[in-house]
Amino acid sequence: MAALIERLTDDGSRRTMIWAAVLVAALVIAPWVVNDYLVTVLIVILYLAYTGQAWNIMMGFAGQLSLGHAIYVGLGAYIAAFLFTRFGVGPWVGFLAAMPVAAACGAIIGFLAFRFGVTGVYFAILTIAFAEFARIGFDHLDIVNAAAGLFLPVAQYSHNDLWRLRGDPTMFYYVILAATVVVFILCRVLIRSRIGYFWLAIREDEEAARAAGVDTFRCKLYAVMISAAITSFAGVFYAFFYNNLFPEQVFNISQSIQIILGPIIGGVGTLFGPILGAFVLTGLAESLNSALTALGLDLPGAEQVFYGVCLLFVVAALPEGIWPWLARRLGIAERAG
């Protein structure tokens, strides 16, 4: 009990919660302050923060590198969009259908890898392979229009229909903001739970974890399944926000790379890293675009070059990511994990 009180009143922890509350408050009032364009930028940022957080469960917590998270985005997007366009099933029910499918897909990949001792970079390659299978498979799957793509009917934005996710960008903004907050809290609960400790142990030293009695196979499998299930919601959101789906886009490896850049820049294994990374990357890239436009320069690919420079800078100067460095400056001690 004393230990619990000590933790709750822990100075670093309290400061962290204050910062998180300030950030959420600022994001809640943002749509009244900023213009429509910036709202869509914020949607992209929060989408990447959300997916980055989900990816971080696998890599940051359990130490399993996935370079194929696009598969879970794609499955979520296609299942929800298919059910909606074909049967009129709403996206929330679609999500309930997509979640177990994505988790099962993660379980299959995880089972094959962990059962046969595929680890490290070989595991990462396996995740790419599955995402590529899915991309090529969906490209030939006639029931979802194959390469021609799946289109959702675009409604007139006369009113916001939260149940069917039809409405203006502000509605989508609040949906993804709420999802990001929920997944942040979920990750915080997970990492402080029994399985969270086991994941960290596996990440640090799998053989030592096993010697301490951790069922590493099962724990790693849970990490993939939970991460996949959470990521599938991002797919549902993607489908209903963009209203069109092409296997070439949603399952593309660039989608997977986009997901992992935020947490890497922000700090792998931290709770704030994926959020901070998404803000820094997308925020600065958009500023760069605006600046170039204002200067009347047309430089295609400038954004990609910018991502590359950001990665180089972080890898060279802040290999743990920006957040651990910033947290020390702010006097916040996030638990090493």
Partner 1 sequence: MSALLSLTTVSKRFRGLVAVDAVSFDVPEGALFAVIGPNGAGKTTLFNMIAGATAPDAGTIAFAGAPIGGLTADAVCRRGIARTFQLVRPFPALSVEDNVIVGALLHRRGVGAARDHAQALLRRLDLFAKRRQLAATLTLPDRKRLEVARALATGPRLLLLDEVMAGLRPTETDRMVASLRDLNRDTGVTILLIEHVMRAVMALASRVLVLDHGTVIAQGAPEAVVRDPAVVQSYLGAETE
> Which one of 11, 36, 215, 248 is in contact with partner 1 (CB under 8 A)?
215
Helices (H) and strands (E) in the chain, counts: 15, 2
> Which one of 77, 81, 102, 214 is in contact with partner 1 (CB under 8 A)?
214
> Which one of 41, 75, 209, 230 is in contact with partner 1 (CB under 8 A)?
209
Spatial separation of the C-alpha atoms in residues 305 and 328, rounded to whole Å? 29
Closest approach of partner 1 to the CB of residue 31, in Å: 38
Backbone angles phi, psi at 298, to 5 degrees: -115, 100
- Residue whose CB is less far from partner 1, 62 or 99: 62
325 binds partner 1 (CB under 8 A): no
**Structure tokens, 192:** 């402080």
Closest approach of partner 1 to the CB of residue 4, in Å: 6
Single-letter amino acid code for the residue at 128:
I
The structure tokens 């009180």 sit at 5
- Residue whose CB is less far from partner 1, 86 or 218: 218
- Residues numbered 181 to 200 that lie near partner 1 (CB under 8 A) are 192-194, 197-198, 200
Closest approach of partner 1 to the CB of residue 222, in Å: 14
Spatial separation of the C-alpha atoms in residues 130 and 289, rounded to whole Å? 34
Give the torsion through C-alpha atoms of 15, 17, 18, 20, to 10 deg.
Answer: 120
- Residue whose CB is less far from partner 1, 221 or 245: 221
Q: Which stretch binds partner 1 (CB under 8 A): 90-98, 113-121, 166-174, 210-218?
A: 210-218
> Which one of 213, 296, 300, 301 is in contact with partner 1 (CB under 8 A)?
213
Contacts 24+ apart (CB under 8 A), 298-307: 307/261, 307/281
Spatial separation of the C-alpha atoms in residues 160 and 166, rounded to whole Å? 6
216 binds partner 1 (CB under 8 A): yes
336 binds partner 1 (CB under 8 A): yes
Asked if 62 and 219 count as a contact pair (C-beta separation under 8 A), the reply is yes
3 binds partner 1 (CB under 8 A): yes
Closest approach of partner 1 to the CB of residue 185, in Å: 17
Closest approach of partner 1 to the CB of residue 16, in Å: 16
- Residue whose CB is less far from partner 1, 1 or 295: 1
Asked if 230 and 183 count as a contact pair (C-beta separation under 8 A), the reply is yes
Residues facing 214 on adjacent strands: none
335 binds partner 1 (CB under 8 A): yes
Asked if 40 and 169 count as a contact pair (C-beta separation under 8 A), the reply is yes
| Count of chain residues binding partner 1 (CB under 8 A) | 24
Closest approach of partner 1 to the CB of residue 200, in Å: 6
> Which one of 26, 125, 211, 330 is in contact with partner 1 (CB under 8 A)?
211
Spatial separation of the C-alpha atoms in residues 180 and 51, rounded to whole Å? 9
Spatial separation of the C-alpha atoms in residues 238 and 174, rounded to whole Å? 14
Residues facing 151 on adjacent strands: 244
> Which one of 11, 161, 204, 248 is in contact with partner 1 (CB under 8 A)?
204
Residues that bind partner 1 (CB under 8 A): 3-4, 192-194, 197-198, 200-201, 204-205, 207-216, 335-337
